[in-house]
Amino acid sequence: MDDDYDDSEYEGSSESNKKYTIFWIDGGANMFEGGEDCDFRRAIKAVFNQLLKIGCFGSRAYRYGLFIANTAKSETQAPGAVKHCVEWFDLKVKSDHESGEDQRRVCTLKEFIDEENIEKAFKKQFEGHSKCDLSTLLWYSRKIFMEQGLSQRQQTIVYITNDTNPFEENWATQFEGYFTRMKKGVSSFRHQKGKRTMGEFSVVLLRKEDNDDDEAYEKDTRVWRQLDPNIGASSTIEDLETQVFQKTFSLRAFSNIPFELGPGVKFSVAVYALASEARPPAKEYVDYGTENPVEKRQVWLPRDEVRGMHFLLLLEEFTSFSFVSLIFLFMDFNFIYFE
């Protein structure tokens, strides 16, 4: 499917402020082994905490989407819809503090995490488990990135799974198989015409705590290292959150300091900003029970249309205005009328 891509799509891309991240979470039955503290819950928690860090402090530089792969339910947009995958959070939806979309998404994940029986909640929302073609999902994600235009400086896909090999058993000897398609797609996502693109595909592999020896690590990560040489392996929720944070933020030097130790001995030191201090969010009203933002609307009506209606008169000292301000707070109406 990579032949459908036009190399010129990436050539015109330039550095800008937008950073786009798409999270994939494995929704296979293997992610629910271990009871309530299963790997799927850990993965959702890691993404939830990441959205709190990058999505709720008012910055417009970050946009993100979330896919749940290997689901019985299929819910992606045509053309190029992916079977057995659900696009839970759309990257194209404006997600910033003003729209309130970030808060709604965080609340959605929080409610899902707090479910006592998370597998039952999963089956209710995603209809069960199946197998998704990750190479097709990669193509679909790249299409979404390209639809955002050229104002991008980072395109990151982060896949969280505990499956050490979702491909064929003989993946290393296949020439035109599932793994080959995936590897070709990842390679063209990172490089076009020999040049590095802004694309990055990363894998965070969830492993058991009692499986930390080097030999087991090499065996577990053998397949994924072909796609992500810097694969992150995690056995605790703290490690997982750190891995997701590192995979999401790209290091960019904003200054280089040259040094000269002597004739012919020169080097430079790059200065990086790992993270910036979050600005306090703007004040807004939220519902006490759901923590969703309270919606406010103002409707302006001509004076003649409101004559004869009953209003709550406030601020009587203002007599020079002729307008009506209707403020809707969850269907509780407060009317302010100035004659």
Q: In this predicted structure, which of 19-23, 200-204, 210-214 has the lowest mean pLDDT?
A: 210-214
Rounded CA-CA distance 226/223 in Å is 6
Rounded CA-CA distance 245/148 in Å is 23
Rounded CA-CA distance 117/78 in Å is 33
Number of domains in the chain: 2
Rounded CA-CA distance 90/66 in Å is 7
Q: Is residue 157, in this structure, part of any structural domain at all?
A: yes
What is residue 195's predicted lDDT score, i.e. its pLDDT?
A: 81
Residues 222 and 137 in one domain: yes
Q: Is residue 2, in this structure, part of any structural domain at all?
A: no
Between helix 118-126 and helix 101-113 the angle, nearest 10°, is 130
Give per-residue pLDDT as tens, 45-82.
988 888 877 655 555 677 888 999 999 999 988 778 89
Which of the residue ranges 31-40, 242-251, 330-339 has the most confident prediction, judged by mean pLDDT?
A: 31-40
Among 193, 226, 250, residue at a domain's last position: 250
313 CB-contact burial (10 Å; exposed 0-12 / middle 13-18 / buried 19+): exposed
List C-alpha distances in Å: 181 to 68, 199, 280.
20, 17, 45
Contact status, residue 161 vs residue 44, Cβ threshold 8 Å: no
Contact status, residue 10 vs residue 192, Cβ threshold 8 Å: yes
| Residue 319: band (very low, low, confident or very high) from pLDDT cuts 50, 70, 90 | very low
Among 188, 218, 250, residue at a domain's last position: 250
Residues 245 and 318 in one domain: no
Look up the domain containing 137 and give its range: 13-250
Contact status, residue 185 vs residue 3, Cβ threshold 8 Å: no
Closest CA to 250 of 230, 236, 269: 230
**Length of the chain counted residue by residue:** 339
What is residue 257's predicted lDDT score, i.e. its pLDDT?
A: 80
| Residue 201: band (very low, low, confident or very high) from pLDDT cuts 50, 70, 90 | very high
